[in-house]
Amino acid sequence: MGILHEDMVVISQEEKEGDPTVITVNCPDKTGLGCDLSRIILLFGLSICRADFSTDGKWCYVVLWVVGKPNTRWNLMKKRLLEVCPSYFSTSGMDYYRLQNQQPRPADVFLLKFWSSYDRAGLLHDVTEVLCELELTIKRVKVSTAPDGRVMDLFFVTDTRELLHTKRRKDETIDHLEAVLGDALISCDIDVAGPEITACSQGSPYFPSEIGEEMFSLEFPDKNFNGFLASSSISITMDNKLSPSHTLVQILCRDHKGLIYDIMRTLKDYNIQISYGRFFANPKGNCELDLFIMQADAKKIVDPSKQDALCSRLKMELLRPLRVAVVSRGPDTELVVANPVELSGRGRPLVFHDITLALKLLNIWIFSVEIARHMIRDREWEVYRILLDEGVGFSLPRNKIEVNVRNILMGWDKSR
C-alpha cells in the first residue's frame, strides 16, 4: 500500500505538560492486534485515556491517547509496537512461504544469580525495576534469606533483545545491578538455565485449597469488599439491531491500570474480531467503550448462550483482573497474587514490579518469593507467593496490606 514499515507507528508527544501523547498505528489487521498493542503500552507503564480503532478486515487504523511516565523511552516503545504489527505482505498472500518456514523460536531462559550481604526494605523492587528497564522479562523468582542475613536471589529471565548470551549484555546487566545494590553485592553470575536447573526452580505444585476456593471463585461479589468492585458497578450490554453484520458491545465501568488490555485479551482468547471501537475515560475514572465485533466466521453473535458467556467473562475480568489475598502459611504471613495467562502463554506485564513497589511503600521486607503457573478451574494462572518478613516493627493488619497491594496493581493509589 506504499507505506513504509517504520511509518506504521507514529508517536506525537504532548505539546504541553499534562496533555496526552497520541500514538497512531496504521497497518495490516490481525485478530488480537489490540491486545498486543495495549499490552506493550501497559508494559511501558502508560495508561490509555482515549482510543479509536477501525478496520476493513485487512487494514486497520488505531489512534491511542496515552498518559503516564514522563521519562518514557518513546523510540524503544515504537520499536516494540512495530514488532507486533503485521507486515504489508500479510495482506497480499506473499508471506505464505515465510509463515510456513519461520516458526518463532522459544526464548532462551537465563539464570541471574546474585548474593547480597544484607537485605533492606525495597531492595527486591529496586532490582526488579532495573531488570524491567533492561527489558529482561522475569519468568520466575526465588529469593531466600540465610541465617546469617545474606540474601540469595535467583531470577529466571528472558531477554527481549535476545543478547543476554553476549559478554557485553551480561556486563551491562551486572553494572546496573551494582549501581542499585552498591557494596551489598557479593557476587553475580548470568548463565543459560539448562532444563535441570529450570526443573529445580519450579514452585511447589501444592496450592492450598482454601486459598483457591476464595481467590478463584467465579461468582460475582454483590458488594464492595476488600477493594473489589460490586458487580452492579459494571454494565455490559449487547445489541444486534444497530448493525446488519456486527454485534455492538457497550461497556460502562470504572477505569483501572490495563483496562483496555484486559478487554482485548479476553476478546483475543475468544477469537473475536473488532471492526470498530471507541473508548473514553473521564478524569473521574469512569469509562465508556463501544465495540462492533464479529466472530471468527465473520458473523455477529446471535446465540444467547455465547452472548451470556462472553458478557460474564468480560465482567469478571473487569471486576477482578488480578486476585490478591493475604493468608497464613503456618505461623507466617504470605501475600498471594494471581493473574490469568493469555491462551498465547503470555502473562500480565509488571505484576511483580507493582507487588514489590507496594511492599516497599509499606516498608515491608520480603523473606522469600515463588512464582509459578497453575491450572485452576480449567485456566492457567500465574501465581506469586511472597512470604513476608515479620521482623521487629511488623504490625500492619493483613487487610491493609491486601488493599494497598491491590490499589497499586489496579492503579488506584492516589498517594503517588
Same domain assignment for residues 205 and 326: yes
pLDDT band at 202 (very low <50, low <70, confident <90, very high): low
Q: Which domain holds residue 66?
A: 9-91+233-319
For 136-151, write each residue's pLDDT tens digit. 998 888 887 788 888 8
Domain contains 175:
yes
Q: What is the pLDDT of residue 220?
A: 66
Count of structural domains within the chain: 2
- Please give the mean pLDDT across all residues of the chain: 86
pLDDT band at 122 (very low <50, low <70, confident <90, very high): confident
List Cα–Cα distances, 201 to 107, 197, 206, 402, in angstroms: 17, 6, 14, 27
Same domain assignment for residues 296 and 326: no
Residues 255, 256, 257, 263, Cα dihedral to 10°:
-80
Question: Which residues, 6 or more positions from 404, have their beta carbon under 8 angstroms from its beta carbon?
Answer: 358, 361, 362, 413
Segment 69-75 shows an average pLDDT of 89
Statement: residue 365 has pLDDT above 80? yes
Q: Which of 319, 334, 358 is the last residue of a domain?
A: 319
Segment 120-146 shows an average pLDDT of 88
Residue 16, domain CATH: 3.40.1020
Q: What is the pTM of this model?
A: 0.88
- Cβ 335 vs Cβ 386: under 8 Å: yes
Segment 176-185 shows an average pLDDT of 92
H helices of 236-342, in order, are 259-269, 304-319
Question: Which residues, 6 or more positions from 86, have their beta carbon under 8 angstroms from its beta carbon?
Answer: 27, 28, 29, 30, 33
Q: Report the alpha-carbon distance of residue 54 to residue 65 in Å, rounded.
A: 15
H helices of 201-334, in order, are 209-215, 259-269, 304-319
Q: Which of 319, 351, 367 is the last residue of a domain?
A: 319
Q: What is the pLDDT of residue 232?
A: 63
For 220-275, write each residue's pLDDT tens digit. 665 554 555 556 689 999 999 999 999 999 999 999 999 999 999 999 999 999 99
306, burial (CB in 10 Å: exposed 0-12, middle 13-18, buried 19+): middle
Q: What is the pLDDT of residue 367?
A: 82
Instruction: Find the length of the chain.
Output: 416
Same domain assignment for residues 312 and 342: no
User: What percent of the chain is predicted at pLDDT more than 70?
Assistant: 84
How remote is the C-alpha of 121 from its chain's centroid?
A: 24
pLDDT band at 197 (very low <50, low <70, confident <90, very high): low
Same domain assignment for residues 330 and 208: yes
For 303-347, write each residue's pLDDT tens digit. 999 999 999 999 999 999 999 999 888 788 899 999 999 998 899
Q: Which of 299, 319, 339 is the last residue of a domain?
A: 319
Same domain assignment for residues 44 and 69: yes
Q: Report the alpha-carbon distance of residue 22 to residue 148 in Å, rounded.
A: 52
Residue 126, domain CATH: 3.30.70.260
Q: Nearest-CA neighbor of 326 among 229, 278, 233, 396? A: 396
Same domain assignment for residues 202 and 329: yes
